[in-house]
A and B are shown apart, each in its own frame.
Chain A
């Protein structure tokens, strides 16, 4: 059940304020300049700003882009997505002949950045890397009323997908995902299953789908983020967890403190050749892998969209980015506008159905 009325209400209410709120953001942003100069780190900022100005004047005058392009990250700086974006930004800057900056505006599951993008000037100088929650916020309206709708943004190109794994604590009485499922079937409400995200998050949909399709009863323990769930796994306080990036557990698996049971991806990963996919283990969650696709505000000139699309595509093909991605466990996954449209359609159908099913569940507690 999706509260579309609520979405429209919200959108119209915000429509009355957009210009104002963007101006406020702009003013706060420019305040960094003079103040930063007072701190020693200001030197770095100053240098970057000077470079940006210099590059701006020698770069192409007429054609897009004629000034630095900003890539918007809806997740916190320093996270895995941030790393992947910085690697891309470096290559894109060389291709576009303009500095490419990465800016994080985290919060509210990424919808703060989504709203910022939706209300931004559609000139092609701001492009956000969105996941399902921010790309089609209507799906999750029941959990979180979105302050914008997917009609206000349009997709450009898919950059990558994130591969999430199900780790298990060392010493558990199973050696594989299918053994764990068999154990859970024989022992209802025994397996302690950690969840790393909020209810209704795309990763929860995968987790929920796995449980339903396997037909098992587990103790589902919610955690505030993957780091907390990893800590609990290492301490043996839970048995398995879903929604942890493969890079975050690789070290623990190598040290023998965890097992990686399966990954949520169509194929195995080259850096974890021994870890099967859920499908191989007999249960296909049916939810698309977590895609990371670039979006621009609706109404961005098609010429600019094409330049951005081509730049990302070209960057993905450079050996430098390929090497960077392999080193950091990033799965580069180019998708054209048509690919993306197909994926968004599938996501909308599958995820909406799962959300509706979750909402029908009897309330625990």
Chain B
């Protein structure tokens, strides 16, 4: 497909001074909400929506899209420096990013996050430019059985995220899977575990849970620690990663870009899953898995690349088919409609300025983010360097605000506070959050796909293996499972002989 001529036309649109300005405002604002824990891209886009209606549609979409992918850059900063994710997709960056910072390597961690984001983001946009049509069509081949197989694969990969204790990891994952079943049963319409609370009819929201576990818990732990330093003190140091860092991070960035793109394209998978999977994969393929959790640069480079690639590729189903792949793109879809444009397969023809202008603006925005962020990291650090007695109430405030603005629902604030307390107990007793959060994301997709498949096949389970795509994914899941279980069994053997 010859995309060059229309892309050049798109640059003509994106480089108009007003559009450049809105692109700049969007990515800057996105980075800021990314840096501030609690406020995520969803809240920011919802807040901006009423104002966006008064802008030219092209400018408005360029700005809102900028907020979305800009927030993916900002989130890592808070994860690395304060050990609180700035937004959901930076949850795993905390693990090794913060450890790097504690070891005096905050600079390279921030640097590699920014470069990885730029490389993966650009990779995602190139895919979007040249492959929007065919890739969108391929994603459509994923019906319920394929989603079921894909989620099986995700569940198997989840095992490698369980941290030091397999037992505790599996308990957390089971808790996450159970939480994912709360809400109205899709098939029978009956409420499950909702206890008459209207909010729980829609299930336990992911945003309040993440903000509770990672935001409120962190504040609680620090109150207990007598407000000790959590923001890494001293100098950030040189942001440029060393030659050795680049060597270590190159493959994770490449793998993260590919994995993230795949997650972005598939409706429902999204940025959070992308970053978790990338971390799990990096730990699996590493020759030194013991370094993970102790400041491995791969653990920062991979997930940060993956979430940016996923954010960019999330635009493929949105722009090519009018299908939102996650909450933020669903709100963006609303913004398109509000501006009088219904995204659909014909949008490329009916609204070329908007379609190609938006895509071109992403190249510009990504370059802006890299140029902005390297020098601005100093500024973001200042934002986070507010005295702790002020910073923690502020973080709590932003968490409250972020959760409230996203849905204007007070019950979600209580859910967040509840998970703050649960998170505190989990941290004190050595449980990891990651398996719980990932299992919670997987559970509803897994369950609905399973039930939809069996309804479609009138109860015949061979539907999962008779379709090539789903059979391949299931075979892959089985292989990964065997690869994970065999070493453990081998380790058991000598013990059994005695």
Chain A contact residues, CB within 8 Å of chain B: 10, 21, 24-25, 28-29, 31-32, 35-36, 39-41, 44-45, 48, 76-80, 82-83, 86, 102-109, 111-112, 115, 143-145, 147, 189, 192, 198-201, 219-224, 227-228, 230-232, 234-238, 247-248, 250-252, 254-255, 257, 327-328, 363-365
Contacts and interface: CB of A to CB of B under 8 A. Distances in A.
A240 B360 CA distance: 36
Contacts of B401: 31-32, 35-36
Nearest to A39: B32
Contacts of B141: 235
17 contacts: A39-B32, A45-B47, A78-B330, A108-B202, A111-B201, A112-B198, A143-B191, A199-B187, A219-B455, A219-B456, A224-B444, A227-B267, A250-B344, A251-B343, A252-B322, A255-B346, A364-B187
A108 B199 contact: yes
Contacts of A36: 47, 401
A173 to B, nearest CB: 18
B364 to A, nearest CB: 19
B456 A21 contact: no
B94 interface: no
Nearest to A248: B342
Interface of B: 25, 28-29, 32-33, 36, 39, 44, 46-51, 53, 140-144, 184, 186-191, 196, 198-199, 201-202, 267, 317, 321-324, 330-335, 337-338, 340, 342-347, 350, 397-398, 400-401, 404-405, 407-411, 413, 444, 448, 451-452, 455-456, 458
B491 to A, nearest CB: 41
B400 A28 contact: yes
Given A105-B409, A143-B190, A327 B340 contact: yes
Shortest 6 CB-CB contacts between residues of A and residues of B: A78-B334, A251-B344, A199-B189, A237-B143, A108-B198, A235-B140
B56 to A, nearest CB: 16
Given A86-B53, A231-B140, A235-B142, A107 B199 contact: yes
Nearest to B339: A83
A321 to B, nearest CB: 14
Given A144-B191, A252-B345, A224 B186 contact: yes
A234 B267 CA distance: 13
A220 B262 CA distance: 30
Contacts of A198: 184, 186, 189
A365 B188 contact: yes
A143 B189 contact: yes
A365 B409 contact: no
Contact of A86 (B188, B196, B338, B458): B338
B10 to A, nearest CB: 20
Contacts of A48: 50-51
Nearest to B344: A251
A304 to B, nearest CB: 24
B345 A24 contact: no
B interface SS class:
helix
Given A41-B29, A235-B142, A251-B346, A227 B198 contact: no
Contact of B198 (A104, A147, A220, A230): A147
Contacts of A80: 337
Contacts of A363: 188
B198 A222 contact: no
A83 B189 CA distance: 28
Contacts of B53: 86
Nearest to B413: A28
Given A41-B29, A83-B337, A222-B452, 6 more contacts: A35-B401, A41-B47, A79-B334, A231-B317, A251-B346, A364-B187
A36 B408 CA distance: 15
Report which residue of B324, B344, B452 has the largest number of chain A beta carbons within 10 angstroms of its beta carbon.
Answer: B344
Nearest to A78: B334
A231 B29 CA distance: 32
Contacts of B345: 251-252, 255, 257
A246 B95 CA distance: 47
B109 to A, nearest CB: 25
Contacts of B36: 39
Contacts of B410: 21, 24-25, 28
Nearest to B350: A251
B28 A104 contact: no
A136 B346 CA distance: 39
A79 B51 CA distance: 16
A145 to B, nearest CB: 6
Contact of B32 (A21, A40, A112, A232): A40
A103 B198 contact: no
Contacts of A257: 345
B198 A105 contact: no
Contact of B407 (A105, A143, A219, A364): A105
A102 to B, nearest CB: 7
A144 to B, nearest CB: 6
A328 B341 CA distance: 9
Contacts of A78: 46, 49, 330-335, 337-338
B496 to A, nearest CB: 42
A25 B414 CA distance: 12
Contacts of B199: 107-108, 112
B198 A83 contact: no
Given A21-B410, A219-B456, A231-B323, A39 B39 contact: yes
A25 B411 CA distance: 10
A24 B186 CA distance: 32
A223 B445 CA distance: 11
Nearest to B138: A235
B201 A108 contact: yes
Given A200-B189, A224-B448, A192 B456 contact: yes
Contacts of A221: 144, 452, 455-456
Contact of B201 (A25, A32, A144): A144
Nearest to A28: B404
Contact of A227 (B32, B46, B330): B330
Nearest to A235: B140
Report which residue of A39, A255, A365 has the largest number of chain B beta carbons within 10 angstroms of its beta carbon.
Answer: A39
A7 to B, nearest CB: 12
Contact of A31 (B49, B191, B397): B397
Contacts of A365: 187-188, 451
A234 B350 CA distance: 20
B267 A231 contact: yes
B408 A103 contact: yes
B470 to A, nearest CB: 12
A144 B184 contact: yes
A112 B409 CA distance: 8
A40 B324 contact: no
A39 B29 contact: yes
Contacts of A238: 456
A344 B398 CA distance: 42
Contacts of B411: 112
A76 B346 CA distance: 26
Contacts of B198: 107-108, 111-112, 115, 144, 147
A242 B144 CA distance: 18
B32 A255 contact: no
Nearest to B338: A83
A161 B458 CA distance: 36
B198 to A, nearest CB: 4
A231 B316 CA distance: 13
A218 to B, nearest CB: 11
